Structure 1
Amino acid sequence: MDILIVDDEKIIRDAVSQLVEDAGHYAETASRGDIALQSLKETSFNLVLLDVNLDRENGLDLLVRIQHAHPNIPVVVFTAVATTKIAVEAMRRGALDFLEKPFTTEQFQIVLSRVQKHHKLAERVVELQTQVASQAPEAVFESASPAVKEVLDVLFRAASTPVSILILGESGTGKSVAARAVHQRSSRAEKPFVTVHCPGLSRELLESELFGHAKGSFTGAVRDHWGKVKAADGGTLFLDEIGELPLELQPKLLRLLQDREYERVGETTTRTADVRIIAATNRDLKQAVKAGTFREDLYYRLNVITVDMPPLRERLDDLMLYAEKFLKFFARQFGRAVDGFSREARQHILAHTWPGNLRELRNAIERAVILSKGGEITAADLPLQSQGTLNGAVAEGGIGVPAVGTAVSLEDLEVAHIRALMKSLSNLADVARVLGIDQATLYRKRKKLNLE
């Protein structure tokens, strides 16, 4: 943890700093209230240790200011003049705990343990609130696709074991959702689920992000940083897009996988980590091994349980299932009275190739719900036609005609075909002739299919 110590006596600041650092945490000090508030504004802390008597300042008044500006940071008050009245007032103003000076190492450790439990509980509450707020239909694994059912069966059977899991698949296929589902079904479900995004950071920053660093190990390292491995202790470490992991870091990850050991940047102390590794990538790691950009031993260490999430274009049985789920979710979230898709909208959805998979489908339905003017989503509400990626479809006056062999009903094919003929031919007699039926039959079909 990162701890700010606020006391006007240097000897106390130094002594408490030593206690904090001996316990394996980072300590920073402030002699006055204004310095403390500035430090809190500039830097993120996990705990404030606050003296009640700060020269001419009242520590309890400062406590209120800290609580107002930083309500999520716990404050422990300590004082040499301890009375029940002061302790009660400190707790009333929002202090998490109270210490009487001088305190022993054992007393400090007890309080620190309480703070850590409070911190973990607060993190868990935030995590649950985030999950509830952002809960999306794809988080509920429901599929009519045999391929997806097989993938989920393998993942969920492996969930109760400690083995590493490698999830392959295109971007947007739900790899991170699957990883979290495995964590939630494991014995580590009550522990952290921590994600590391491998792309987008330099090797140095990614190493620090993953393993942490010691104060002064490089320019800008003004404090100790524990890293994501430490944050995931006891839980699951999800390495997203591991195919982008720099070659120089791969031996360190291999050591973590094999021996559960690592070192922070800038120190030689060997640390241990109790983490379960789940990795995901959209790259072909076998090809990366052949190209020399991914270590073969790391690949085989990760490749204990491997699954391949099918792309959405191979899951046509699921397409409208998820579209309907997204529609209900966003209609409820935005308070819109939208409860279905028009026939043309369904044709567009079924004909689209969905290169962005579930992520693209989610975004398309979210946009459609926002822009919809009526009680159902129309083809015009969907951002698909402008992309020019209708799967085997022909655009006729803005209407997508699904190709033969796509997951559409015979009725939808018939409607699309008759409508296209009616637009392209000059009269209904010609339409009937092309269809091989008489005009009376065409009339009945138009009435039945609402093509008047």
Structure 2
Amino acid sequence: MRTLVVDDEKNIRRTMAMALESMDHEVVSVGSGAEALKELRGASYDVVFLDLKLHQENGLDFLEEILRVAPQAAIVIVTAFASIETAVEAMRRGAFDYLPKPCTPDQVRQLLGRIERTRRLENRVVELESQLSAESPDIDLTTESPKMEAVLNVAFKAANSDATVLLLGESGTGKTVLARGMHARSPRKASAFVTVSCPSLSRELLESDLFGHIKGAFTGALVETQGKVAAADGGTLFLDEIGDLPLDIQSKLLRLLQEREYERVGEARPRKANVRVISATNRDLQEAIRDGRFREDLYYRLNVISVRLPPLRERLQDLERIANRYLEFFGHHAGKTFSGFSAEAIAAMKSYNWPGNLRELRNLIERAVILGSGNQVGETDLAEILQAPSEYRVGGNISLEELENEHMRRVIANTRTIDEAAVILGVDPATLYRRKKRL
């Protein structure tokens, strides 16, 4: 790792440099906070060893400056025993850890090992998230639909800028796929694409997941975390279901967009952010603004460019191609080979309304692959989902409540979890769970 030693004592600098070089780390040593800031502005460092007492200078002041200039660096406070309380305060302000002064090579080695393990875990999380998203048939952004072609034209033009983009549309229309496609076509494509699912966590955990927290910020915060904003540094931050973001976090997101800075939970020092923000929702944000559930100023910040994805029923030109891609994908994973769909199956799919859009189509094909026994998917393999009894068809002799209940039953039957069904239906999982008991 590339390390910077900041200490006003020449002997300490020399000893630390020798120890670090013996561990195969690249070392630069400076004697003041001003020199450290100059060095950090000109080069990238993984670790900074910072003495709290630099002549008449206060190391805590330079700690905040260093974290602004080099937010990716792990700051290690080097302190005399008498100033341990100050070192703990420094950790609350963002330092990774502290070392007593004088320290032994073993102490330095162990601390650097912890830093390396923490960085590997953080990078692995981002890598796994990217892999999970990439291992999917939902990657083809070609279309034969005029409506979808117009959407892609706007989205791909917007991809070349850093403007915030708001993706609108029903659940399951492919907003996440489009966001990833925009990132892949942007100048930030070499950096991370990081997703935050706004309705998936409690308010407290969501704030920590988004902005990170320091050690001791709340009960159970045993180690500091960098948060998704930091993980997306240089890349794209995708805020899924932004309409479910709690109001108090909306104000912090607004600050991120306006000032390009944020604070970790438990920390009173601002950090700089270098991310491009794309958000998505299936909700009516204008209605949410009128109801006091969404900030109008945040809406305008998010809505610099808006793109509304058409539902699957309005882009049936793409249905057969997408269905075949799903069939090939799930067939491969199941160790089965399919020649395709029968003409009757294609006709049945094209006559269906697809309330769950691409997500519902994907689930349907996956189910047909698992339960099917032939080499072709026929209408009978899809009948349970696509062929509702006539009394449940739109326009039939049925009340709105009965139609809604039947639709809920079918979506629940065609998904693996209540959470997945809730996303398709556009309702809260707890609400759907209560409704399910009455179905």
Short-chain TM bin: 0.5 to 0.7
Q: Is the 8 A contact 2:126 2:194 kept in 1?
A: no
1:188 matched to 2:193: no
Instruction: Go from structure 1 to structure 2 and tell me whether the alpha carbon gap of 1:361 and 1:216 turns closer, same or farther (over 3 Å shift).
Output: same
In 1: Cα distance, 2:267 partner to 2:115 partner: 26
User: Aligned to 1:196, what secondary structure does the other structure show?
Assistant: strand
In 2: Cα distance, 1:359 partner to 1:372 partner: 20
Instruction: Go from structure 1 to structure 2 and tell me whether the alpha carbon gap of 1:310 and 1:391 turns closer, same or farther (over 3 Å shift).
Output: farther
Matches of residues 102-251 of structure 1 in structure 2 within 5 Å? 126=128, 129-130=131-132, 134-136=135-137, 138-251=138-251
Q: Is the 8 A contact 2:211 2:226 kept in 1?
A: yes
Q: Is the 8 A contact 1:351 1:392 kept in 2?
A: no
Alpha-carbon offset, residue 115 of structure 1: 7.7
Q: Is the 8 A contact 1:327 1:339 kept in 2?
A: no
Alpha-carbon offset, residue 177 of structure 1: 0.5
Q: Is the 8 A contact 1:160 1:186 kept in 2?
A: yes
Alpha-carbon offset, residue 252 of structure 1: 0.7
In 2: Cα distance, 1:165 partner to 1:200 partner: 21
TM (norm. structure 2) is 0.62
Amino acid of the residue matched to residue 247 of structure 2? L
Q: Is the 8 A contact 1:167 1:280 kept in 2?
A: yes
Partner of 1:283: 283
Unmatched tracts of structure 1, length 5 or more: 1-11, 28-46, 48-79, 81-99, 395-452
Instruction: Go from structure 1 to structure 2 and tell me whether the alpha carbon gap of 1:184 and 1:290 turns closer, same or farther (over 3 Å shift).
Output: same
Q: Is the 8 A contact 1:328 1:339 kept in 2?
A: no
Instruction: Go from structure 1 to structure 2 and tell me whether the alpha carbon gap of 1:324 and 1:166 turns closer, same or farther (over 3 Å shift).
Output: same
% identical aligned pairs:
50
Q: Is the 8 A contact 1:372 1:378 kept in 2?
A: no
In 2: Cα distance, 1:352 partner to 1:310 partner: 16
Report which stretch shifted further, 208-217 or 236-245: 208-217
User: Aligned to 2:166, what secondary structure does the other structure show?
Assistant: strand
1:338 matched to 2:338: yes
In 1: Cα distance, 2:219 partner to 2:107 partner: 37
In 1: Cα distance, 2:115 partner to 2:201 partner: 34
Larger CA Rg, structure 1 vs 2: 1
The ranges of structure 1 where at least 4 consecutive aligned residues each deviate by more than 6 angstroms after the TM superposition are 15-18, 111-121, 389-394
Q: Is the 8 A contact 1:261 1:271 kept in 2?
A: yes
Q: Is the 8 A contact 2:341 2:377 kept in 1?
A: yes
User: Aligned to 2:194, what secondary structure does the other structure show?
Assistant: strand
In 2: Cα distance, 1:233 partner to 1:282 partner: 27
Determine which structure has greater relative contact order: mean sequence separation of CA pairs < 8 Å that are 6+ residues apart, divided by chain length: 2
In 2: Cα distance, 1:265 partner to 1:143 partner: 43
Alpha-carbon offset, residue 127 of structure 1: 5.7
Unmatched tracts of structure 2, length 5 or more: 1-15, 21-46, 52-62, 64-72, 78-95, 97-103, 397-439
Q: Is the 8 A contact 1:163 1:305 kept in 2?
A: yes
Q: Is the 8 A contact 1:155 1:182 kept in 2?
A: yes
In 1: Cα distance, 2:207 partner to 2:262 partner: 11
Instruction: Go from structure 1 to structure 2 and tell me whether the alpha carbon gap of 1:131 and 1:26 turns closer, same or farther (over 3 Å shift).
Output: farther
1:292 matched to 2:292: yes
User: Aligned to 1:139, what secondary structure does the other structure show?
Assistant: coil
Matches of residues 434-449 of structure 1 in structure 2 within 5 Å? none
Instruction: Go from structure 1 to structure 2 and tell me whether the alpha carbon gap of 1:214 and 1:116 turns closer, same or farther (over 3 Å shift).
Output: closer
Matches of residues 70-89 of structure 1 in structure 2 within 5 Å? none
Q: Is the 8 A contact 1:351 1:393 kept in 2?
A: no
Amino acid of the residue matched to residue 205 of structure 1? L
Alpha-carbon offset, residue 248 of structure 1: 1.2
Alpha-carbon offset, residue 343 of structure 1: 2.9
In 2: Cα distance, 1:200 partner to 1:364 partner: 24
User: Aligned to 1:365, what secondary structure does the other structure show?
Assistant: helix
Q: Deviations over 1:65-103 (max 9, x none)?
A: xxxxxxxxxxxxxxx8xxxxxxxxxxxxxxxxxxx6686
Amino acid of the residue matched to residue 157 of structure 1? K
Instruction: Go from structure 1 to structure 2 and tell me whether the alpha carbon gap of 1:229 and 1:288 turns closer, same or farther (over 3 Å shift).
Output: same
Matches of residues 321-336 of structure 1 in structure 2 within 5 Å? 321-336=321-336
User: Aligned to 1:194, what secondary structure does the other structure show?
Assistant: strand
Q: Is the 8 A contact 2:48 2:74 kept in 1?
A: no
